[in-house]
Structure 1
Amino acid sequence: MKKTLYLFMLLAACSSAVKAQFCNTQKGTLLYYETRDTEKETVQTDTSCIVDVYKSGDTLIVKQENRGKRAEFGDAAEQITFRCDNDKTTRMTLMSADYLKEMMYRYYLDGYHQANPEETDEEKMKKGFDEFMEQLHCEGEVYIPLKTDAKAGDKLPESKFLYKLKPIKMTASVSNGTVIGFETLTTEAGTFNCLKVSYQAKYKIMFISETTYMTEWYAENVGLVKSEERTKRGKVMATSTLVRIEKPSI
């Protein structure tokens, strides 16, 4: 990326720093997590990268790509979007119909170009995708609102996502969400004042379903600091802890 463009994006992010948001707003920042799987007794390093930061009207939008355990709902949750509309709420979208359609369109174009390298008619390419999309039903959004003025006991709204392409049907949802409160957490990356939330995440494709119980800690201007994945009986299955923040060099 050209230095001038990078500086422009950095200034755009800094201009919104007066608002409190539960995400990192510096494009190119890498967040490193130590992920422990207690069942498999493994430890690995996962990364998240801030891939885009921009304004849409009065809303600051941050796109973060996750690799490894943090992609909780599969490939379609590889990217998380944060929307900061005001100085109190950050809307964290884990999965949405809009993003899935964008992702599928990119995959479609890649495949089309490989099969038809000499084709340049964009309208023709788009028509083929539109015909495919007529067979697809996709709706909803799985999200969590993170609020600076949240209080212990506050309930998080339920949210759902549906994908249907005969004979395949996939659903994802977040339910039974609760704000536990604010808590100071110290990791290798530093000491953070975190908003602690818990919720139930459910993923189902065809006849296979999985339900996990998540507890997560989020810090302002950082994002996720720690997460715990538990069974219904409370057994910890996996944890992810922020161990390093690597900012891009200018």
Structure 2
Amino acid sequence: MKKHLILFGITLIMSSFVTAQECSKYYPMIEGASFEYTNYNKKGKSQGISKYQVTQVETSGDVTKATMAIELIDEKGKEIYKTDYNFTCTGNMVTVDYKSLIPSSMFEQYEGLEMDVSGTDLELPNDLSVGQQLADANVSVKVSIGGMNMNTTIDLINRKVEKKESVSTPAGTFDCYVIYSENKMKAMMVNQTFPSRVWFAEGIGMIKQESFNQNGKSMGTTVLTKYSK
């Protein structure tokens, strides 16, 4: 498995737009917003792209819910998988569906098979600050193959806001908070932990993600290559 590896009368439209923007700093909860990421292996070779689009946004009281559609495409331009996940903004917190934690390589490996998925959602506060500790998250995937269950668990632990940093991608240059976490993966008899860093920019969301092996060497990166809101 590849280990490397993100959503109206005029008055109603405007009020919904403002409410969503105020609610979420790091996830643009705007219908039609789209984002394209390119995935690179440790040698810098493109491994395909991931396309995200916010397809629905609903606000009720102080809660805004959005749906993000995802299309995964391999390096040859072949569609690997289509899915969607939800995220919710309440008060000062955005909660992202735990399904978003599943690596694209897993969708490719288990293409055509039914997956039973459970977990704990990912939380991202609006008021990030350097040194801040963030809650853990996890996802568990069970796949039945020939009467045998293949179980994979991914835990995001030791999450913290590590630093502020400017980062450049083909989509532009962005001021970001860098969130460090350790991704603990357990699959069959394999139990490994891989550090990861994610760069978040206000008003856009994830700009870059990089995974490392246990020796601190890069295993691959994902970068924002284009977006529209």
Q: Same fold (TM over 0.5)?
A: yes
Query: Of 142, 151, 163, which aligns to 2:129?
Result: 151
> 1:228 — aligned with what?
210
The residue aligned with 1:61 is 65
Q: Secondary structure, in 3 states, of the residue corresponding to 1:156?
A: coil
State the percentage of identical aligned residues: 21
* TM-score, length of structure 2 as denominator length: 0.69
RMSD over aligned CA atoms reads: 3.5
Q: Decide which structure has the larger Cα Rg and report it.
A: 1
Which of 218, 223, 239 in structure 1 is aligned with 2:200? 218
Q: Which residue of 2 aligns with 1:133?
A: none
Match of residue 170 from structure 2: 188
Q: Which residue of 2 aligns with 1:172?
A: 154
Pick aligned residue for 1:199 from 181, 193, 203: 181
Structure 2 unaligned segments of length 5 or more: list them: 1-7, 74-79, 101-114
Q: 1:230 to 1:190 in 2, by over 3 A?
A: same
User: For residues 90 and 195 of structure 1, do their structure 2 counterparts lie closer, same or farther at Cα, with a shift above 3 Å needed?
Assistant: farther
1:1-250 to structure 2, matched below 5 A, reads 12-39=16-43, 41-68=45-72, 78-86=83-91, 88-95=92-99, 139-143=118-122, 145-162=123-140, 167-168=148-149, 169-209=151-191, 211-247=193-229
Question: How many angstroms apart in 2 are the aligned matches of 1:78 and 1:213?
Answer: 26
In the other structure, the counterpart of 2:4 is none
Shift of 1:231: 0.8
Q: CA–CA distance in 2 between the matches of 1:16 and 1:233?
A: 41
CA distance in 2, matches of 1:186, 1:138: 34
Per the normalisation by structure 1, the TM-score is: 0.64
Greater mean deviation of Cα atoms: 204-213 or 59-68: 204-213
The one-letter amino acid paired with 2:54 is: I
CA deviation after TM superposition for structure 1 residue 64, in Å: 1.8
Task: State the alpha-carbon separation in 2 of the partners of residues 214 and 14 from structure 1.
Answer: 33
Once the two structures are superposed, what CA deviation does each residue of 1:173-195 show, in whole Å capped at 9, x if it has no partner? 11121211332333332333322
Distance change (3 Å), C-alpha of 1:242 and 1:40: closer
- Greater share of helix: 1
Segment of structure 1 superposing worse, 161-170 or 229-238:
161-170
Mapped to 2, the partners of 1:83 and 1:154 lie a distance apart of 21
Distance in 2 (CA, whole Å) between partners of 1:203 and 1:57 is: 38
- What is the deviation of 1:53? 1.5
Shift of 1:228: 0.7
Using the TM superposition, give the Cα deviation of residue 224 of structure 1 relative to its aligned residue in structure 2, in angstroms: 0.7
* CA distance 1:191–1:40, shift in 2 (3 Å): closer
Amino acid at match of 1:159: A
Letter in 1 for 2:201: A
